[in-house]
A and B are shown apart, each in its own frame.
Chain A
Amino acid sequence: MAHRVYVRVQVDVDESGKTRPLRIFWEDGRSFAVDRLLDVRRAASTKAGGQGMRYTCRVRGREIRLFEDDGRWFVEARDAAAE
């Protein structure tokens, strides 16, 4: 099972309004650059609950699903890892 972890995100918004996440700030102060944006679509998070625009990103070789839900951003985090 997974849960939502709300995070601070640095984004780039271009002239047409397209949003692109650049960096994710973890609650313990670490931050991770988004190396590559793999996919963007509206989706529900089946793992952690919640819904929004889903940005599938490559971060340090791992695939992260980052959601923008009504102005707030969250990632799906595995329960054990978050403890």
Chain B
Amino acid sequence: MRTILHSDLNNFYASVECVYEPSLRAVPMAVCGDPAVRHGIVLAKNMLAKRAGVQTGEAVWQAVRKCPNLKIIPPDYPKYLRFARMMKAICAEYTDAVESFGLDECWMDVTGHERGGEAIAGELRRRAREELGLTVSVGVSYNKIFAKLGSDMKKPDATTVITPENYRDRVWPLPAGDLLYVGPSTRRRLAARNIRTIGDIARSPRELLRTALGKSGEMLWVFANGLDQSPVLREGEGEAIKSVGNSTTTARDIVDDAGAHRVLMALADSVAERLRAQGLQGRTVCVSVRDCALYTTSVRHRLDHATALASEICTCAMALFRAHYRWERPVRSLGVSVSALESLEGDVQLSLFADARDRRYDLENAVGDIRRRFGHDALRRASLLGGGEIHFLKEN
């Protein structure tokens, strides 16, 4: 089962303005386009303006009529873009599968990540608060649609988890209009058939929705039943994938090679599993290291053969780490990626130890199958269990 996160920066433009001018939090304020150039609508508002009834998308004059003391701020797009990039960079520390949805929202596929979706969601919220001064709502689920719904359910600064066990209770009572791609027109057409909630969509015969709304009706039925399988698209959607990587910021700083090896092994496991799932293997292994002073370095090595084996990726990553990291400071986060990709089924040059490697592929594929069926924790490497021999610094 996949683990998908959807993060949504709360009242994004307005919140960024409040970061720079904290006194704006105490008055109703809205970021509005310039009426002189026909952009005179509310782009974002703070909580006080929201309480006064100000709505995003309405004309400035309407908003001022509702809230006469509304403080109006002009938008500063370069600043918002900078904050959006910083948030995306934080997300990219956990997975390279980060798909933007507008400036302030994105999906992340963290399937197989050792920290788990809810823990990562909590960390995203903490880091957005501390590093950017913003709050973020995060939905955690097993598909993109429910993850997005989750991030909308509780705001601000909240995590909502939607699972195969609870989606009927949490999602189905919501109005149909809360579902992605159900706009006012679709909502009206659904209402005409007495379909008013997401549960109503889910329980309707699939054919009925197809007849009523065409292909998109069937798509909504799939969404409402939690059956969406669409992948989280990486940067440059539609283009061939150039690399597969995972990174993690550990709960406590890593202070020795043994600790680094444990993390690199877990990352290599995840990268290899994702490579094989996409029928890919790669020749270049890259390790990125961020120390506790937030300085990042990355080093890479080109192998003499392409691989999608966790054991080979980890061996190479560890050798790179040992050769280049001098332990001047403890390590805060590590990343492993594999690039120079080619098809796993393709014309692969045989190495001297082909038989042994075939057996390793069989073994890692079998491990992957078990994890897909029974969850990632169903089978773990002995080297990743416990941790008595690994010494961590205390948390800051």
Contact = CB atoms under 8 A, between A and B. Distances in A.
B19 A40 contact: no
Contacts of B86: 42
A42 B21 contact: no
Interface stretch (A5-13, A27-35, A44-52): A44-52
B294 A44 contact: no
Interface in B273-305: 293-295, 297
B294 A41 contact: yes
A51 B294 contact: no
B164 interface: no
A16 B291 CA distance: 14
A39 B396 CA distance: 11
Contacts of A70: 82
B184 interface: no
A44 B293 contact: no
Contacts of B77: none
B193 to A, nearest CB: 48
A44 B295 contact: no
A49 B294 contact: no
B133 A51 contact: yes
B82 A44 contact: no
B131 A44 contact: yes
Q: Interface size for chain B: under 10, 10 to 19, 20 to 34, or 35 or more residues?
A: 10 to 19
Contacts of A48: 22
A51 B82 CA distance: 11
B384 interface: no
Contact of A40 (B22, B83, B293, B297): B293
B130 interface: yes
A77 B295 CA distance: 28
B294 A42 contact: yes
B20 interface: yes
A43 B83 CA distance: 12
A70 B82 CA distance: 9
Given A43-B131, A44-B130, A49 B293 contact: no
Contacts of B52: none
B132 interface: yes
Contacts of B134: 44
A44 B132 contact: yes
B82 A49 contact: no
> How many interface residues does chain A have, given as a range?
10 to 19
A70 B79 CA distance: 9
A51 B40 CA distance: 28
A18 B294 CA distance: 10
A40 B294 contact: yes
Contacts of A51: 19-20, 83, 131-133
A52 to B, nearest CB: 10
A42 B295 contact: no
Contacts of A16: 295, 297
Contacts of A18: 295
B53 to A, nearest CB: 27
A43 B82 contact: no
Interface in B20-46: 20-22
Interface string B5-28: 000000000000001111000000
Nearest to B82: A70
Contacts of A45: 133
Contacts of B293: 39-41
Q: By CB atoms of chain B within 10 A, which of A46, A48, A49 has the most?
A: A49
Nearest to A47: B22
B20 A49 contact: yes
A42 B20 contact: no
A50 B20 contact: yes
Nearest to B83: A51
Interface of B: 19-22, 82-83, 86, 129-134, 293-295, 297
Interface of A: 16, 18, 39-46, 48-51, 70
23 contacts: A18-B295, A39-B293, A40-B293, A41-B131, A41-B293, A41-B294, A42-B86, A42-B131, A43-B130, A44-B129, A44-B130, A46-B133, A48-B22, A49-B19, A49-B21, A49-B22, A50-B19, A50-B20, A51-B20, A51-B83, A51-B131, A51-B132, A70-B82
